[in-house]
A and B are shown apart, each in its own frame.
Chain A
Amino acid sequence: MLYSIFLICSINKESIIDVEGFVRTVDQKIESCSQHDVELHCEQVWVVSSAAPRLPLLIEDAVRPETDDALATVNQDTRLDNRILDLRTTTNQAIYRIEAGVCKYFRDYLMEKDFIEIHVPKIISAASEGGANVFTVSYFKDKAYLAQSPQLYKQMAITADFDRVFTIGQVFRAEDSNTHRHLTEFVGLDLEMAFKFHYHEVIEVIGDMFVHIFKNLRDNLQEEIETVGRQYKSEPFKFLEPSLVLTYKEGVRLLRDNGVDMGDEDDLSTPAEKLLGRLIKQKYDTDFFILDKFPLAVRPFYTMPDPTDKKWSNSYDMFMRGEEILSGAQRVHCPDLLSERAKEKGVDLEHIKSYIDSFRYGAPPHAGGGIGMERVTMLFLGLDNIRKTSMFPRDPKRLTP
């Protein structure tokens, strides 16, 4: 149907329309549109798909920054319940393009470094990390689990002579945490690499990979970053090249100098991590840093201990804006040492028999790590909640849409 001018105004908001007309230049810049210097003079307007007259939320409310007190904004639950409308905002269109960029630059960099992309099972027979936080599924007459991480399979690919692998896939954690940075299902960007002499070769690759991601986001997606910044203000993300690496001991000393009471082998609490992030930002002017040589006591059983001092381990964490985004380490590749470490940590050897066996036919020394795609995007943009960077988030209270 062809509509007259009067009827065009009555087309419901958010309907899909076809417009035929002339593009003409304008004298005055049009601020309220993405194209500032041209106008569309309509000759014909057709309604392709009409939207319902009453929308559960208005896009202009959803894109408004929270600070405008008088005008309406949309709260998180309403947004998530009506996600397809919420995702139409310019801010969300920008956020998910940036998230796509994180994946793209992750992939590009690793492929350039001779990594190959693999895909590993998510339905597994035994809980990989720990028994507590795992989802069970019924598997015909048996029970199976949803993978908490691709750890096992990454390593098996290494022992299968693939040398350098990465995988991008869902990770399932049945953690009943209702925080700003936890989801029950998220996308993990995991990598694993056999090294020649020292696990620091792997830290260097991962550090350079992050620099590559940050640089490309900053250079190629600047417009999107600014769009997000209009609704969610934050400081631009700063990083050093090459990435800053500090030892765990140095981190603890920095914290102790600022009044934090902790032992040499204590794990970092979340407030301590955040404070460390601030102190390092102040001292080195970087939002991204790596902490190397964690105490062995706080790492899982498959972490390689430091050969010179059993108190420490060849493991590392990486932080963005004071929050952990990667936990990695050199893995134990000798079956006997692995069994010993498992026993020391109280892990039942029967459950991990096939894992230990995978190292019995020649396994190179290797190390790796995994990052959460949503968390990296969230912290790069300085957002305050991970649900902002997950298209259809899953948490203990949300299963739809």
Chain B
Amino acid sequence: MNDLKSLATYLNVPVAKLSLDQKEKILVWKEKDGKTLRGLISIAKYLSRNSSHHKQFSGESIEERAAIDQWLEYRLNNIDRAQQEKDTNAFIKDINTYLEDKVYFVGHQLSLADFLLYYGLHNLFRDLTFYEKQKYMHLSRWFDNVQHAENVRQTQTLIPFQKNILYTGSAH
């Protein structure tokens, strides 16, 4: 829920009534005129496309928009649903490899994918040790970049990163 509120703030869109449908475990966005949207991805895309300032945020080309959609799904299916450590380890490694030669997830600027993935991964990053942050270097680099971008972090805690190599051998 926090993600969508922050997203609305970032996009300068007024926050409507946001609640959680307990039965279906799905987010519900209700505007003043009665328009409702259900689901994290739908609401996020709605907000993003409706904001005039950030056309690039939702993807400049059709390919970029499709890629962003893919990453939003990834967030929902893999990150939010990860129960055990081995699930988390699996997707962390994947994303780290993906980010090896990319500054942002899609295209050359901050997009909706980066935004929601940052919020989706924040809890995880809070508990990572410096050893792990060093192990997943590309992911850490991306995370540090996004958390310092203007108005993205808002009320989330700033995760510290070490730009120097601390661990040469083992974690000991």
Q: B-contacting residues of A (Cβ < 8 Å)?
A: 233-235, 257-259, 271, 274-275, 278-279, 281-282, 321, 384
Whole-angstrom CA separation of A258 from B128 in the bound complex = 13
- For B170, the closest partner residue in chain A by CB is A384
Q: Bound complex: CA of A278 vs CA of B164, how far in Å?
A: 10
A to B CB contacts below 8 Å, 24 in the list? A233-B169, A235-B168, A235-B169, A257-B160, A258-B130, A258-B160, A258-B162, A259-B159, A259-B160, A271-B129, A274-B172, A275-B130, A278-B130, A278-B166, A278-B167, A279-B162, A279-B166, A281-B166, A282-B162, A282-B164, A282-B165, A282-B166, A321-B172, A384-B172
Binding site for A on B (CB under 8 A): 129-130, 159-160, 162, 164-169, 172
Distance (whole angstroms) from the CB of B166 to the closest CB of chain A: 4
Residues of chain B within 8 A (CB-CB) of A281 are 166
Q: Which A residues touch B172, using CB under 8 A?
A: 274, 321, 384
Q: A258 to chain B: which residues have CB within 8 Å? A: 130, 160, 162
**How close is A263's CB to chain B, nearest CB, in angstroms?**
18
Q: Please, which residues of chain B bring their CB within 8 A of the CB of A235?
A: 168-169
Q: Which of B164, B165, B166, B169 contacts A234 (CB 8 A)?
A: B169
Q: Say how far A277's CB is from chain B's closest CB, in angstroms.
A: 10
Whole-angstrom distance between the Cβ of A245 and the nearest chain B Cβ: 22
Residues of B within 8 A of A233 (CB): 169
**New A-B contacts (14) at CB < 8 Å, excluding given A234-B169, A257-B160:** A235-B168, A258-B130, A258-B160, A258-B162, A259-B160, A275-B130, A278-B130, A278-B166, A279-B162, A279-B166, A282-B162, A282-B164, A321-B172, A384-B172
Expressed in whole angstroms, the minimum distance between the Cβ of A103 and any Cβ of chain B is 25
- The smallest C-beta distance from A186 to any residue of chain B, in angstroms, reads 20
Residues of chain B contacted by A384 (CB below 8 angstroms)? 172
Docked complex Cα distance between A339 and B129 (Å): 43
* Set of chain A residues within 8 Å of B159, measured between Cβ atoms: 259
| B28 vs chain A, min Cβ distance (A) | 35
State the 7 A-B residue pairs at the shortest beta-carbon distance, nearest first: A259-B160, A278-B166, A282-B164, A258-B160, A282-B166, A275-B130, A235-B168
Chain A residue with minimal CB distance to B159?
A259
- A259: B residues at CB distance < 8 A: 159-160
The distance from the CB of B151 to the nearest CB of chain A, in whole angstroms, is 22
| Residues of the B chain whose Cβ atoms lie less than 8 Å from the Cβ of A257 | 160
Alpha-carbon gap, A261 to B92, bound state (A): 25
A233 to B170: give the CA distance in the assembly, Å. 11
Least CB separation from B172: chain A residue: A384
Chain A residues whose C-beta falls within 8 Å of the C-beta of B166 in the assembled complex: 278-279, 281-282
A275 contacts across to B, CB distance below 8 A: 130
Give the complex CA separation of A384 and B159 in angstroms: 30
Min Cβ gap B64→A in Å is 34
Which chain A residue has the least Cβ–Cβ distance from B130?
A: A275
